[in-house]
Structure 1
Amino acid sequence: MKQNNLFTALLCFFLLFSLNTTAQLQTPQASAKATVMQRIGVTDISVTYSRPSVNGRDLWGNLVPYGMNNLGFGTATAAPWRAGANENTTITFANDASVEGKTIKAGTYGLFFEVKPNNQATLILSHDTQAWGSFFYDKNHDALRADITTTEAPHHELLTFEFSNITPTSAVLSLVWGEKAFPVNISVNTTQIVLDDFKAKSTGQFGFNRQNWEQAAAYALNNGGDLNEALTWIDGAIAGNFYSQKNFNNVAIKAQILNKMGRTDEYASLMDEAAGMANKQQLNALGYQMIAAKDYDRAEKYFKQNIANHPEDPNGYDSLGECYKNMGDTKNAIKYFKKSLSMNPPANVKANSEKHLKELGAL
């Protein structure tokens, strides 16, 4: 019995000793870790970094020395600034991108700066992503270097990465600390990324859906894609495949592709065919599309066709009034706006007719 108690006590001692020597209490770091992410088009770009504070210190040329420096530790004798604290800052691109006009492949990179006097700096993206700071920086592992100009900024006590000037194809990533900002221009070929993704998926189950081919053709049409390729895709949606079906949507898309290619006679014929297949909302939208294209004859034709099909709908008369207003036919514009108002239209249609009548001095 005593031996069993002794064994139990020794076992507890060794377990406690083992836990004490391996377990560590997690405590907050002085420079908290953060991640900022921005989607540009369909491309996610994220930066993971640690955020030191200014804490009254003289930053540039002092705490952060200019140039490449021997930090007195590690293997690097000429190291850049780690662009943060603790582990080296990293940036991840979900797709290929352009940084300051230079191509960078999709992936994760260490992010450093060589800070220089006179508002100059060099951005360095490195294949090293697991280092502590820049103590082991090796220029042979650089993936990209780009010179930038720093700018003045409102005071940021904590080092901050932020995105601004965001468009579907570009953004500016800035490191801001103290009163200095390090802006970096990033761009992506969103159209190519979207269409390459479609082509990669189109040989699988994704490609067995007619609507996906229509969507890809429309995207290429509206975003500077290859029109010949778009025409092939929309033709496949219309006929020739087991999923093909001619409808208003794909005929209208094909017509717009042909128009953009300069094949105007084919465009006109197909637009009329699409109009014959359209429901009330589609035909109305088609009329406005013709107004935007300044093809007023077709706009008038489509709106009148909608009124003939749906004589009880005040929106049809309101839309025809807009057509005549754009044509400069004030008399007919007033006539059809007033006709719309006489039919107790919905609030949005009433407001539109009244607005145009006021503009025409008829209300």
Structure 2
Amino acid sequence: MRLFFLTTLLLLSFSLTAQTVTQPPSGNNQKCEVTQYIGSLVKVTINYSSPNVTGPNGQDRTGQIWGQLVPYGLTDLGFGLQNPSPWRAGANENTTISFSHDVEIQGQKIQAGTYGLHLIVEESQPWTIILSHNHTAWGSFFYKESEDALRVTAEAEDAPFAQWLTYSFTDRQPDQCTVAMRWENKKLPFTIKVPEMTEVYLANMRQELESTAGFNWQGWNQAANYCLQQNTNLEEALTWAENAVALPFIGQANFNTLSTKAQLLYALDRKEEAETELQAAIAYPGANSFQIHVIGRQMIGSGDTKMALKVFEANHQRFEGAWPTEVGMARGLSAVGRYADAVKHAEIALSQAPDQLNKDNLVQMIENLKAGKDVN
């Protein structure tokens, strides 16, 4: 019994001495994380430890960062593999960058995943950005070129003083963003782009339509409308639109679903079917003049000016010339070159205009129409 107790105590002692506790970050280089979405789905995250221009002992290292604290080119760090190595692009553990989807960095493809981020800093030429498959190492001490996933270059720029090394997203577009690393008096921007953003959304929509979004007509209609607006994947989108109209238990033939289906049929050059669906949409009891007006504007945008005029005429007749159907008539007639007739409707619309902004726009519209200019 005594032996068992001693053995247990020794094992417990060994176990306890093997444990570590959380302490302040090495060198007081605070951990940081920054995340940016490209669009609604593609997530980019950078994890890093942020060194200070002021050293741990309070020394001012301004002017001693680039080329000294951070050497130019590759250097033997005196530990680990002791091979010429890049900079860890931060402090302490690997700086890492993660992508939820496949992207392009500086125009070069990289697969979704997490990568160690390293830099080869240069004095008078572009810097090299390295993404390594090894993202769990401490710093660059065990960096191996054979583990590179990607190498690209970017131009470093002079920048306002930054006390702490910081990564930020300085430009954000629907399908790309710009990341900038800033420290002391330098900035390194580089771009991350989603090469097929539309396909990313479509793939996600297909998944969502197999889940809760597929159990209501709104989900199918939204997916079909997205394809319509992007002018892509139209055949599958028509199937989605038909589901929104008539899928058992959830389909609903309302203005939204019928008009979406009609516009997809137009886009697929199935005009007779499209006109039938559009007439059903316009006649739908719940449709209002503004909704129908928007369809007419969309028809003009797609180049089908004759059908646009038919939509505006049906709207004008159904709502007996109420606002904004006179505006629609002016636009529809202008689109087919009947400017004198368009002026008459625009002048009536001016008398109906609900606010000064609409009045000002209509005054300008009338001037253009009288000069023989299309107002669409």
Shift of 1:346: 4.2
2:145 counterpart of 1:146: no
Aligned to 1:79: 85
Shift of 1:175: 1.9
SS at match of 2:76: coil
SS at match of 1:58: coil
* Alpha-carbon distance in 2 for matches of 1:331, 1:127: 68
Q: In angstroms, what is the RMSD of aligned CA positions?
A: 3.1
* Alpha-carbon distance in 2 for matches of 1:131, 1:33: 16
The alpha-carbon distance between structure 1 residues 146 and 222, as it changes in their structure 2 partners (threshold 3 A), is farther
Aligned to 1:314: 323
Equivalent positions of 1:194-209 (< 5 A) are 194-209=201-216
* Alpha-carbon distance in 2 for matches of 1:29, 1:138: 25
The alpha-carbon distance between structure 1 residues 223 and 76, as it changes in their structure 2 partners (threshold 3 A), is farther
2:129 counterpart of 1:130: no
> Match for 1:252 among 237, 246, 259?
259
* Alpha-carbon distance in 2 for matches of 1:344, 1:121: 59
Alignment TM-score, normalising by the size of structure 2: 0.79
The alpha-carbon distance between structure 1 residues 313 and 192, as it changes in their structure 2 partners (threshold 3 A), is same
Residues 74-97 of structure 1: CA distance to partner in whole angstroms, max 9, x if unpaired?
235232111112222111212232
Alignment TM-score, normalising by the size of structure 1: 0.81
Could you tell me whether the CA contact under 8 Å between 1:148 and 1:182 is conserved in 2? Answer: no
SS at match of 1:313: coil
Q: Which moves more between the two structures, 95-104 or 32-41? A: 95-104
Q: Which amino acid aligns with 1:244?
A: G
Shift of 1:72: 0.8
2:246 counterpart of 1:239: yes
The alpha-carbon distance between structure 1 residues 211 and 30, as it changes in their structure 2 partners (threshold 3 A), is same
Q: Which amino acid aligns with 1:184?
A: F
SS at match of 1:355: helix
Q: Which amino acid aligns with 2:326?
A: Y
Residues 266-321 of structure 1: CA distance to partner in whole angstroms, max 9, x if unpaired?
44443344333343222111121222234333333222322222226232212322
Shift of 1:217: 1.8
Could you tell me whether the CA contact under 8 Å between 2:92 and 2:139 is conserved in 1? Answer: yes
The alpha-carbon distance between structure 1 residues 206 and 76, as it changes in their structure 2 partners (threshold 3 A), is farther
Aligned to 2:182: 176
Equivalent positions of 1:1-363 (< 5 A) are 26=24, 30-41=28-39, 42-54=41-53, 55-142=61-148, 144-157=149-162, 158-188=164-194, 189-223=196-230, 225-277=232-284, 278-311=287-320, 313-343=322-352, 345-360=354-369
Q: Please, which runs of 5 or more residues in structure 1 have no aligned partner?
A: 1-17
Residues 3-23 of structure 1: CA distance to partner in whole angstroms, max 9, x if unpaired?
xxxxxxxxxxxxxxx9xxx88
Could you tell me whether the CA contact under 8 Å between 1:239 and 1:245 is conserved in 2? Answer: yes
Shift of 1:71: 0.3
Q: Which amino acid aligns with 2:50?
A: R
Aligned to 2:10: none
Residues 226-274 of structure 1: CA distance to partner in whole angstroms, max 9, x if unpaired?
2222222222222243322223222322333333334444444433443
Q: Which amino acid aligns with 2:86?
A: P
Q: Which amino acid aligns with 1:226?
A: N
Residues 122-163 of structure 1: CA distance to partner in whole angstroms, max 9, x if unpaired?
222223333332123233443x22221323232332333232
Q: Please, which runs of 5 or more residues in structure 2 have no aligned partner?
A: 1-15, 54-60, 372-376
Shift of 1:212: 1.0
Q: Which amino acid aligns with 1:254?
A: K
Could you tell me whether the CA contact under 8 Å between 2:340 and 2:369 is conserved in 1? Answer: no
Shift of 1:38: 1.6
* Alpha-carbon distance in 2 for matches of 1:224, 1:186: 25
Q: Which amino acid aligns with 2:47?
A: T
Q: Percent identity?
A: 35
The alpha-carbon distance between structure 1 residues 340 and 228, as it changes in their structure 2 partners (threshold 3 A), is closer
Could you tell me whether the CA contact under 8 Å between 1:98 and 1:187 is conserved in 2? Answer: yes
The alpha-carbon distance between structure 1 residues 27 and 120, as it changes in their structure 2 partners (threshold 3 A), is closer
* Alpha-carbon distance in 2 for matches of 1:342, 1:117: 68
Q: How many residues align?
A: 342
Could you tell me whether the CA contact under 8 Å between 2:87 and 2:120 is conserved in 1? Answer: yes
Q: Which amino acid aligns with 1:126?
A: S
